[in-house]
Chain A
Amino acid sequence: MSETTTPSPALPDIEVSADRVASVDTEPKNTFELRDVNVFYGQMLAVKDVSMAIPHNQITAFIGPSGCGKSTLLRSLNRMNDLIPGARVEGDVLYHGMDMYGPKVDPVQVRTVIGMVFQKPNPFPKSIYDNVAFGPRLQGRKGNLDDVVEEALRGAALWDEVKDRLKDNAYGMSGGQQQRLCIARAIAVQPDVILMDEPCSALDPVSTGRIEDLMAELKKTYTIVIVTHNMQQAARVADRTAFFTVLANDETGSRTGVLVEYDLTSKIFSKPDDERTENYVSGRFG
């Protein structure tokens, strides 16, 4: 999809396409490496001591009960937490070996390389075309963006459904189409990673199935990290799965998310090492 490297003074030495080619037949490289990551909201510790490596061109799923900090952790991977007053991240979040919270890193630049799809489809109240073209235009691209828009919509398996009504308002689409439009919008800026925060929780089973098929297609080009409440979904789409749980402190009333187990999806769902994981995936808890 992209022959260009990512030209970014803030994120040096990321040759996206080279990595993608290399990862096809060699041992997968890691896109993210988290070392002892703590995420705070003000005084509250929301996620504690997470260490994990997220491999390239694979789908990694975060599962766990509500309030276990999986969305919080996901949002710290593209610095969306920066926008919440009082939120801060401790520990190392390495992106291709580079400290993502380093002093010279521009969070805006981070978000162009690491895209995000949200829980509820959130198209802009504009035409389908303008939704997809918004990202490229932000990057200063002017003139005719027809090719970019078509490529992104094809990439999100939406082109055939909307090619005759690109000028229509995005709010006229179904929920599933809107969510695929949001995926198209994210891939139009040619990111390296797509983070998905429960992307199917507002969708019906048919739309969900289409997005899952799409994810399998997208992982050839992108690294995908998905938060999901739906264990079957994690089992179906993810290569690796991380199970989080929540530790409640009854005295202070605080709730802190911790990573319990992180492994290949097949192992998490068949013979997990930790009893809590087994209870959760077998439906006895959560």
Chain B
Amino acid sequence: MADEPDYSSRVALPPRTRVAVGGARDVTEALFTSGDRKKKIQGTIFLGLLLFGLSIALIAIAAMIIWAFVAGGPRLNVNLLTNVPSIVTPENAGYRTAILGTLYVIGGVILLIVPLGVGAAVYLEQFANPANKFNRFVDLNIQNLAGVPSIVFGILGLAFIVRGPLSLGFVAAAGSLTLALLVLPTVILASREAIRAVPSSIRDGSLALGATVWQAVWRQVLPAALPGILTGVILAVSRAIGEAAPLLLVGAVTFVTFNPSFFEGGYSTLPTMIYSYAKRPQEELQVLAAAGVVVMLLLLIMINSVAIYLRNRFERTW
């Protein structure tokens, strides 16, 4: 134990923290230097643990996807996309209304979160004085909101959007608003990060040419931050597409056999439709639910591809 690293020079830490801090440093150092054998072995073991953890996650995802394709296999055909839902004739039932419902809800979410989220981020990053108490309060609460469980937003949507002040009823617009509130903090935080990553010299350069702060932001900073902002929107929308819990509370459980509209009548979305099939006992409906998972994955991949294409088009390097 002669080569025990010396931690005594550090501020007195509780033993547990000291071990953790020292261990973390040793492992990191071991990976970058060709230190002594003991540290090398420790580093290798730790790396192995990390890869093991990673592989568990990957295996779980792969298992789900394979299960969805195998279990839903018998129903993977065009009818699945074009036919309306039914529990009476499950062999012909499809997801048309749920796909449309999801597209409506997500379309509404995108329309709401992009201007609101980017606007809030621009204000907080470029205009707000960070020393101001109000701005710090807003800042803190956005971070808190990002950690609120999604079901809480469902209750909020039920109380204030479906009923209460807005009283929209159980319609797709209510679902959109609820999901928009849910993902708005994510979009704001990601957009702020993207805006902050634009060098301040770009902003100063435009101001020195006689641009107003607004012109500098609109013509230089925002275009440069666009790829990052789009990434944030992609992540937020991906989360919104898969959400079922808050939508259950704001009306997406309706079993609709007609095309939904935005402000009238019931609606359902893919996750809630899959849920309502999966909880029923019939074998055919289980198959249908699995096929629905495949549909949802495809929809997710499609929407993300468009977003990634857009992001790459605007991408630039500093």
Contact = CB atoms under 8 A, between A and B. Distances in A.
Interface in A210-242: none
B209 A115 contact: yes
B208 to A, nearest CB: 4
Given A124-B220, A134-B219, A171-B317, A78 B211 contact: no
Contacts of A83: 204, 207, 213
B62 interface: no
Given A83-B207, A125-B318, 16 more contacts: A78-B208, A80-B204, A80-B208, A85-B130, A118-B208, A122-B202, A122-B204, A123-B205, A124-B206, A125-B316, A134-B206, A138-B215, A182-B205, A185-B209, A189-B209, A189-B210
Interface residues of B, number: 23
A111 B204 contact: no
B201 A186 contact: no
Interface in B284-318: 316-318
A123 B201 CA distance: 9
A264 interface: no
Interface residues of A, number: 27
A51 B206 CA distance: 29
Interface of B: 129-131, 199, 201-202, 204-213, 215, 219-220, 224, 316-318
A138 B212 CA distance: 9
Given A83-B213, A122-B199, A116 B318 contact: no
Contacts of B205: 118, 122-124, 182, 185
A109 interface: yes
B210 A109 contact: yes
A115 B212 CA distance: 14
Interface of A: 78, 80, 83, 85-86, 108-109, 111-112, 115-116, 118, 120, 122-125, 134-135, 138-139, 169, 171, 182, 185-186, 189
Max chain A CB contacts within 10 Å: which of B199, B205, B206, B209? B209
A172 B91 CA distance: 60
A116 B210 CA distance: 10
Nearest to A108: B212
A186 B210 CA distance: 10
Nearest to B200: A122
Max chain B CB contacts within 10 Å: which of A111, A171, A185, A186? A111
Nearest to A111: B210
- Report the 3 A-B pairs with minimum CB-CB distance, sorted nearest first: A112-B210, A122-B201, A116-B208
A115 B207 CA distance: 10
A259 B120 CA distance: 43
B136 to A, nearest CB: 13
18 contacts: A78-B208, A83-B207, A108-B212, A111-B209, A111-B210, A112-B210, A115-B208, A116-B208, A118-B201, A122-B204, A125-B202, A125-B318, A138-B209, A138-B219, A169-B316, A185-B205, A186-B208, A189-B210
A111 B219 CA distance: 17
Contacts of B202: 122, 124-125
A138 B211 contact: yes
B209 A112 contact: yes
Contacts of A108: 210-212
B316 A111 contact: no
A125 B316 CA distance: 7
Contacts of A109: 210
Nearest to A112: B210
Contacts of B207: 80, 83, 111
A139 to B, nearest CB: 7
B218 to A, nearest CB: 11
